[in-house]
Amino acid sequence: MRIKFKNDVLYIELFFESGFELIEFKKKGTNRDKKGKSAYKPVVPAVEQASRILLFLEESPHFKVTLTEIGQQVGIHKSKAFSILNTLKQFGFVEKDSQTKTYSLGTRLIFLARNVLDNLYYPDIVAPFLQNLAIETNGTAVFGLINGEHVFVVSKHEGNQNIGFSVRLGHRFHITLGAHGKAILAFMPEAERERILARNKVYFYWDPSRVNMRLLREELTRCRELGFAQDIGEITPGINVVSAPLFSHHDKIIGCIILIGTFQESLIETYGPKVVNAAKQISIKLGANTGHFYPV
């Protein structure tokens, strides 16, 4: 590392195998561009690159990835990627397979994620409702939380069905997939809903080529009337799904309740309102004005 100070500017040069990387720190009032606007960006490039590497490893379809692929996909030199990965490895955030020379996410991240989940109040609120719903239906009741383009499983309760359907905590579904996708989209603000419907690929019926926009819009309308959406073996044959949206304060849609099971299609008419009632009670506890969304 080299440190220089010149003309009210502190220069710190960090050494990577690919060379030096310069970081500038200017005194207050001196960090201006030619137009007089503030040019200061409170971002450390190496930390940003490390974050992008972690996100790439999380999103990659392959659990283990080579150094070359990481460098290419993240857009940084191999030697710098190697230095960052080696640093992350020291803290357990990344693991390296010494035989295949590939990298994957480290187990230390499990404890970070667990700490976040343990300190969220969502699981505490939804737990008794999921339990009651699972017991009443002999299905698997799941609370999915929206995060970007996905719905993450934050809490679940499995009933006593003879054929179990297990969903692990932390599992993610695409936000447009199946019943939960229809339930979420149906209650989104119209502009946001139309923006998603205009995409080239959506996964309400798993295969984007199977989407019939007229029928999908009819399903969304029916979902707003009933409060829930359904998937009758469309994603996984033999598995039926019912889902209703969840709202928090300011009436913001934050996720959904998903009921998964091998129950008969004829039971959806009975189980649908149960899912809606659970979602409604949870939304009330989260501060939502449920009269705007759920049927009376």
- Is the pLDDT at 109 greater than 80, yes or no? yes
CATH code at 120-292: 3.30.450.40
Q: How confident is the model at residue 228 (pLDDT cuts 50, 70, 90)?
A: very high
The larger pLDDT score, comparing residue 292 to residue 185, is at 185
Q: What is the structure's pLDDT at 39?
A: 54
Please, what CATH class does the domain formed by 49-116 belong to? mainly alpha
Is the Cβ–Cβ distance between 106 and 95 less than 8 Å? yes
Tens of pLDDT, residue by residue over 68-103, are: 999 999 999 999 999 999 999 999 999 999 889 999
Give the tokens for residue 97.
């397979």
Give the tokens for residue 60.
């990659």
Residue 241: half-sphere exposure toward Cβ, Cα within 13 Å:
25
Q: What is the mean pLDDT of residues 209-215?
A: 89
- Is the pLDDT at 17 greater than 50, yes or no? no
Which residues have CB under 8 Å from 67's CB, separation 6+?
78, 81, 82, 85, 101, 103
Give the tokens for residue 143.
């609370």
Give the tokens for residue 139.
């299905």
The structural domains of the chain, with segments of one domain joined by +, span 1-42, 49-116, 120-292
- Is the pLDDT at 3 greater than 80, yes or no? no
- Is the pLDDT at 243 greater than 50, yes or no? yes
Tens of pLDDT, residue by residue over 110-161, are: 777 766 666 567 888 899 999 999 999 999 999 999 988 889 988 899 876 5
- Is the pLDDT at 189 greater than 80, yes or no? yes
